[in-house]
Amino acid sequence: MKKAALFLIMVLLLTTVSFSITVLNEITYNIDISYAATDVEKVLTNFGIKKGNYVSEIDIRLAVREILNIGYFTSVSYNFNEDLGLLEIIFVPNPTPQKIAIEILGDKLIDKKNIESTITVKPGIPINLNDFQNSLKNIQDLYIKNGYQFVDVSSNLKINSEGLTLESTEINKKKYDNTTLVFIVKEYTLWDLELRGEISQLDKSLIKDRLGFNFRKDWNQKFFLFRPNVKETYPSFQKIQQILSSLNQMPFFTPDTKLYFEIIDIPENKGGELILILEGNLRKIVDTEPIFLSQVVYNGNESIPKFRLDEEIQKHLKIGMRNYNLDLLYAYDAIQQLYFNEGYIFTQITPYFQDETLIFEIKEAKVGEVEITQEEDAKTQRYIVESLVKIKPGDVVNQKQLQDTYISFVGTGFFDNVQIVPFLIEEEENIFGFRITPVEKEKLGKLIGGITWTMPDGEEWYKGFSGQLEVEWANPFGYGQTFDVYTNLTPLNNRYEFGFNYNIIKLLGSDLDLGATIKYTLTNDGILHSGFENKLLTNQFSISVSPRYQIYDFSYLTGSLGYNNYTFKDEPEKLNTLDTSIGYLYNTVDSPYRPYQGIYFRVNDLLGFQLDNMDNYYLGANIEAKYFQSFYKFTWGSRLRFASVTDQSNLYPDFGVGGMNSIRTYNFYEKQGDSLLLFNTELVYELSKGQIPLDAFAFFDYGNATELSDIFSDPLWSFGGGLKITVPLFGQISFGYGWDKDLDGQFWFGFGQVF
C-alpha cells in the first residue's frame, strides 16, 4: 500500500515538472536573423510563444524543432530561465555565400541563364537548405524537360565535423573561394557501345552505324568540319527512342536482350561519360548448327529483281555448303537492308529454314488510303494540294514517293514543311495509310537582289552602283499564283530595267502552269547596241506568256510566246518582233530559296522574227543544268548554262554576263554578245540551322558573252567567299568578298539565291 502511494506521488511530481508553465517576459536571439524573422516569429506565434503568454518548455522544444525546418540554420537551441521568464534562442546559421555561380562539366546543353532562373538560393544571407534542395531538383527537372536525363547536379556545400561549410574549389580552370556557392552540373555524353554475351560475336562497328547515334568517342576522331553538333553525342530521350527503334529493326537480337548504361571515366573528355551495354543471346533461325544449305527462296517479292537479292545472299552464305546461325542472321539483315535502301521501308520479312532451304517470306507494304488535312487558316486550294501528293492508293509503299511529295510541296515556295505520318490499317495484309498536312509559309514576301559598286571613270561616285532588286509574293490568294516586281539598275551602262512577272500553277485544276512577263527597259540618252545596225536604243517594251505542261512528276513541256517593241534615238520608226520557244524542263530542287538537294535541267529553242518583215529572224538554243547535293553540313551546288543565237538581222538583244546572278564582283552586263557560257559553283557550310539559318560559302564563277567562235576567249571569272543568312521577309541575304580575273578584290552583298 505504501509502495503504491509512493509511486503515485512520483508520477504527480514528474507531470507537474514536465508541464509546468511560466509567464514569458522576454525573447532574445543570439544573432541577427532579419532574413528569417518573419518565418521564425510565425512559428513562435503558432506555438503561443510570445511576450506575456504562459509557455511550457515542451512548446519551446517543438517550436525550436519547427524553426530548424525553416532551412536557414545548421542548429537551433535555447536557454530558458523559468524564474525570470527569459527565453534566449541560439541560432547557428548555415554558410552565407556572397555569390552564386554555375559551372557546367560538359557542352552546355542548357543555357546558363535558363539554369540561373531555376535557382532560388539568395546570396548575402545564409543558405536556405529547402531552397538549396529545390534548386538542385529544379536544375535536374530543367534538363529532363529538355530531354536529357543523364545529369548529376552537386555543389561545393559539404557536411563535415563542423557542420555545413562552403569549400574552396576549382572547376573548368576557375577558382572559387569559400564565399561562393557553386552549383556543379555534370552532363553525361554517350562514349561508346559494348557488346556482351553471345551478341559480342557481332561486328560492333556495323551495329554502331545502324544505331545512327554519334558516339562521343567516334565524334572526337572526326575532322571538325565533318562533325555534327556536339549535342548529338548526348543520350536524350529522343535519341534513346531512336536507338531502341533501330535495335528493333535489326534481326540479331531477342526480346531478352538487355540494354543498360554504365558510367566510365575518360580523363581527357570534359563532363561525364556513359557506355551503352547490349547483353544477351543471338536470335536463332536454326536451333542446331552448322546446317547444310541447298538453296534460298524468296516468297512474295514483287519489287526487287531476284539477282539483286542473290547478290546480297552470296556475300554471307555459301550455297551447297555448311553455314552457321550467325551467317544466316547476316544474310537476313542484308536482305532487310536491301529493301530499306531501295525505299521499301515498311516491308516485312520473315526467314525460316526447312529441308536445306532458307525461305524468306516477304510481305511488301501497300498504300491503303491517303488523308490530306489542311490547316484551319490554309489558303491553298484543295486541287493544288492534291496534285502535289505523289502517294497513291494501291501502290507499294516506297520512300521515294514520300520524298517526292515533300519536294513537290516545298519546291513550290508556298510551304515551309509538309507533315507525312503513316498509320497501320491492316496488319495482316501490311497495308498503311498516310496523313498529309502541308504547313503554309507565314511570310509570303521575298526580297531578292544584289548591289555592286565600282569606282566610275570620269563620272559621279554614285554612278558606280549597279544592282538588281526583286520583290516576290508567293501564293497570296491560294490559287498557286506568284507575283513579282523587279528592277535592274546599271547607271554606268546607262541601262534601267523594270519588270513584272506572274505565274500560276495547276491552272483550273489541270496539269497546265501559265506564266506572263511584262518588261520595260530605258536607256535615257540611248545606248549603242551592236545589234539593230548600231542604232541607239532608248526604250524596249516586252510582253510574253509562258505555258508549261506537266507530263510526269517534275517533268514539263515548256513554251513561250512574246512581243517586243524597240524605240531608237532619232528614229521615227519602231521595231516590232515576235519570239517563240518550246522546250523541256526537269526540276527536283527541294527549295527555290535555300536548296539542299535536287537536279534542274532545261533545254529550249530561241526563235523570233520581225513582224513587218519575216525574212528578218533569229534562231538559237538555250541549255541550263543545276545540281545540288548535301553531305554532312556541306552543300555543293553547280550551274552550267550555254546559249547561242544565229542573228543575221540583229533582232535578238545580246546575252550579258556580270553581276550578282552570273559572275560576282563584276558589273551587270559587263560583257554582251550573241552567245553565252556560264559556270557557277558553290560549296556551302552550315554554321547553324534554326529560325535564322547561317551558312558560310566559297564560290567560283566563270563565263563569257561574245560571238560563238570566241566563247572561250577572254572570259570573265571570279572567286571568293562569304556568309549567307536567311531571315523572314527578306529571304536569303549574302555578304561576300571576291576577286576578279585581275585579282582586284571587292565586297558585295545581295538578296536571294545566285542560281
In a domain, 130, yes or no: no
Q: Same domain for 324 and 436?
A: no
Cα dihedral sign, 60-63-68-73: negative
Instruction: Report the CATH number that the domain containing residue 300 is assigned in CATH.
Output: 3.10.20.310
CA-wise closest residue to 134 among 147, 118, 156, 148 = 118
- Phi first, then psi, for residue 470 (nearest 5°) are -140, 130
Sign of the alpha-carbon dihedral angle for 232, 233, 235, 240 = positive
Say if residue 386 is in the same domain as residue 497: no
Within this chain, do residues 499 and 393 fall inside the same structural domain, yes or no?
no
31 in a structural domain: yes
- Determine the pLDDT at residue 538: 82
The answer to whether residue 474 is domain-embedded is: yes
Residues 425-483 have pLDDT tens digits of: 988 888 999 999 999 988 767 666 656 566 566 666 666 666 677 788 888 888 999 99
| 503 plus 562 within the same structural domain | yes
User: In whole angstroms, how large is the CA radius of gyration of the chain?
Assistant: 39
Same domain, 720 and 594: yes
Which of residues 414, 440, 466 is at a domain's end? Answer: 440
Structural domain total, the chain: 4
Please name every residue paired with 80 in a beta bridge, in sequence order, or none if there are none: 87
Question: What are 372's strand-pairing partners?
Answer: 436
Mark whether 494 and 459 lie in a shared domain.
yes
Q: Bridge partners of 688?
A: 694
Are 402 and 416 found together in one domain? yes
Q: Which of 178, 174, 141 has its CA nearest to residue 158?
A: 178
Q: Is 693 left (phi over 0), alpha (psi -120 to 50) or beta?
A: beta
Q: Are residues 525 and 419 in the same domain?
A: no
| pLDDT value, residue 74 | 92
Query: Tell me, what's the pLDDT at 450?
Result: 58
Residue 128 falls within a domain, yes or no?
no
* Residue 466 resides in a domain: yes
The SS3 call for residue 160 is strand
For 509, the enclosing helix (H) or strand (E) is none
Residue 270 lies in a domain: no
Say which residues have a Cβ less than 8 Å from residue 375's Cβ, sequence separation at least 6.
Answer: 437, 438, 439, 440
**Which residues of the chain have a pLDDT value below 50?**
1-18, 530-531
Predicted pLDDT at 466: 65
DSSP secondary structure string, 560-615? EEEEEEEEETT-SSPEEEEEEEEEEEEE--S-SSS--SEEEEEEEEEEEEETTEEE
Q: Are residues 380 and 436 in the same domain?
A: yes
Q: Are strands 180-197 and 272-280 parallel, antiparallel or unpaired?
A: parallel
Range of the domain at 399: 366-440
**Across-strand partners of 638?**
627, 681
Residues 6 or more apart whose CB falls under 8 angstroms from that of 87 comprise: 24, 26, 27, 28, 49, 55, 60, 78, 79, 80, 81
The DSSP symbol for 126 reads: P
Secondary structure E strands in 415-535: 415-426, 431-440, 445-453, 465-474, 481-490, 495-504, 512-528
Q: What was the pLDDT predicted at 557?
A: 95
Q: Is residue 650 in a domain?
A: yes
Q: Give the CATH number of the domain where residue 561 resides.
A: 2.40.160.50
What is the Cα–Cα distance from 435 to 369, expressed in whole angstroms?
Answer: 9
Let me know whether 532 and 383 are in one domain.
no
Domain boundary among 299, 328, 363: 363
Residue at a domain's end among 408, 440, 472: 440
Question: What does the pLDDT read at residue 7?
Answer: 46
Task: Mark whether 546 and 658 lie in a shared domain.
Answer: yes
Q: Quote the CA–CA distance of 527 and 496 in Å, as a whole number.
A: 11
Give all strands (DSSP E) within 119-179, no chain letters. Answer: 151-155, 157-160, 163-166, 169-171, 174-176
Cα 743 versus chain centre, distance: 37
Res 41: pLDDT: 92
Check whether residue 334 and residue 377 sit in a common domain.
no
Residue 606 inside a domain? The answer is yes
